[in-house]
Amino acid sequence: MHFLFAMMKHETNTFSPVPTPLERFARGRGVPPEGQEAVAAYRGTQSALAAFIDIAEKEGASFDVAIAGAAWPSGPVEDKAYDYMVGKILDAAKSRKYDAIFLDLHGAMVTESHEDGEGQLLVKLRQIAPETPIAVALDMHTNLYSEIVDNATVVAGYQTYPHIDVYETGMRAGLPLMQALKGAAKPTMSWGNRPMLPHVMRQGTDDFPNKQIQQRAREMEQEGALVATLFTGFPHADIYNAGLSVVVVTDNDPALAQKYRDELLDFAWKEREAFVYKLEPLAESVSRAKGMKDGPVVLLDHFDNAASGGTMDTTAVLGEIIRQGLDNVAFFAIHDPEAVQQMIKAGIGAQMTIKLGGKIPMPLLSADAVSEPLEVTGKVRVITNGEFRNRGPMSTGILNDMGPTAVFDTGKVEIVVISRHQEPNDLNCFYSLGIDPLAKNYLCLKSRVHWGAGFKPVMTGVVECAGVGVCTSDYNQLDFKHVRRPVYPLNLINDPSAGA
């Protein structure tokens, strides 16, 4: 047997001003890897592509990797970048007849020309390989369109958030496909959605209701379903089908697939109010954190999360931390390549006053959501190339590249300043810079939920801070124009068929 693998992953925040060219998918290395370079980069990691590789090698099958592109979330993907990656995949599919195709995708990619980047890829693949079985592994934040389901053989999505089951999802997509190849199963899929936009801050699988919903999906996989996935969706993509959806795969049992689909959808709709996030004023949040004496206490600057398309250069939360005098703080991170270069020029140990962040306009936010540069005085303590590998449990073994990176010490706050976006979901984001996070009173992280993978086991408490940014949890700051209406909670509806 001979298989084709490909990775093309991007979660698009249509409100984000951060551009998404091809080099963003290459993490600073020119173009995304392919072939053996991609195998070397992802073999043995916590990725769906690694699962595909393991499946092939266990089966004694050969395989080709057309491309392995993965970018931090940002604004719509440039058509030039999308066409390059899709072109690589389609050219490979045309080059020979494959026994199966395995795709490691995201599910919430929006391009300059397409609302559903993944669906359009699958449509084109089907035109080339109309009979070839296709397995698709997707992120929990998928905004599902029919083009994905209609043109795939098996679809599986993450069941954890933080996403610590990415490899397992690759297996959940790939193993049923192998059963189909061997004639041991006939995958049958049913999918549907509900008109609801769950707040990302309420999607974590450590908490109600998503914890219980995902547990039920796992039970279904022990009770007759090959795969059961509830996608919470990505609400910051202003596209028609943004929101919650379900896909269930059975072995030639469409009635069971529909039954389980409806059960999960009804469960989520019934608990829709629990998916709505409640805000607290920033000053109150920081003051509450200040009263928590045993560290490390985690403060979440969750309006400006790189893993949801944030600029990472807003300064509201950092400024409030400094204003209220919190001490022994490590802050990750401000994205400001210009400031990093100033610190590199000054050198380690240099005392200086510098303006951090506040440099990127956010025109698609409401007028009150602004962030100014923050002037701070202190010492350049560390300068590095910004590379580190995740220790896990999320993205274990994956190489991260923050670009030239510096640590600026104000005396009370050590501020990490980076040149490429990076969400803090792993302790090594600090350890790689000579900062011991366990010795800090406070860790301020520009993150929403993924921080918990690395930091929840060592924290003593968490405070969510409503700052400024395009990942805002205040839907009133976003001008939705394209999402289907009515949709909850933008519209307070009680009929789940209203947004059909």
Q: What is the pTM of this model?
A: 0.97
How many C-beta neighbours within 10 Å does residue 341 have?
13
pLDDT interval class at 498 (50, 70, 90) = confident
Query: Which residue in this structure is represented by tokens 């400001």?
Result: 336
Would you list the DSSP string of 9-35? E--B-TT----B-GGGGGTTSSS---H
- The full set of domain ranges for the chain reads 2-275, 282-472
**pLDDT tens per residue, range 335-371:** 999 999 999 999 999 999 999 999 999 999 999 899 9
Would you list the DSSP string of 189-252? EEEEE-SB---GGG--TTSTTHHHHHHHHHHHTTTTEEEEEEE---TTS-STT-S-EEEEEEES
Rg, Å, the chain Cα set: 22
Residue 65, classed as helix, strand or coil, is strand
How many C-beta neighbours within 10 Å does residue 455 have?
24
Helix 79-95, helix 117-128: angle, nearest 10? 20
- Is 105:151 a contact under the CB 8 Å cutoff? no
What is the share, in percent, of the chain residues with pLDDT greater than 70? Answer: 100
How far is it, in rounded angstroms, from Cα 299 to Cα 295? 11
User: What integer pLDDT is reported at residue 497 of this predicted model?
Assistant: 87
Strand order through the sheet with 245-251: 187-193, 245-251, 225-231
User: What integer pLDDT is reported at residue 29 of this predicted model?
Assistant: 78
- Is 221:152 a contact under the CB 8 Å cutoff? no
- Is 10:23 a contact under the CB 8 Å cutoff? no
**pLDDT tens per residue, range 39-73:** 999 999 999 999 999 999 999 999 999 999 999 99
What is the share, in percent, of the chain residues with pLDDT greater than 90? Answer: 98
Dihedral of CA atoms 227, 231, 237, 239 in degrees, nearest 10, equals 70
Residues sharing a CB contact under 8 Å with residue 292, sequence separation 6 or more, in sequence order: 460, 461, 463
What is the CATH number assigned to the segment(s) 2-275?
A: 3.40.50.2300
Dihedral of CA atoms 338, 417, 234, 42 in degrees, nearest 10, equals 100
pLDDT interval class at 188 (50, 70, 90) = very high
User: What integer pLDDT is reported at residue 249 of this predicted model?
Assistant: 99
pLDDT interval class at 500 (50, 70, 90) = low
Q: Give me 91's structure tokens.
A: 């050219």
Q: What's the average model confidence in pLDDT over 211-222?
A: 99
Does residue 408 carry a pLDDT above 90? yes
pLDDT interval class at 254 (50, 70, 90) = very high
Q: Give me 398's structure tokens.
A: 């994956």
**pLDDT tens per residue, range 71-125:** 999 999 999 999 999 999 999 999 999 999 999 999 999 999 999 999 999 999 9
Does residue 499 carry a pLDDT above 70? no
- Is 347:370 a contact under the CB 8 Å cutoff? no
Does residue 372 carry a pLDDT above 80? yes
Strand partners, 378: 352
How far is it, in rounded angstroms, from Cα 313 to Cα 334? 5
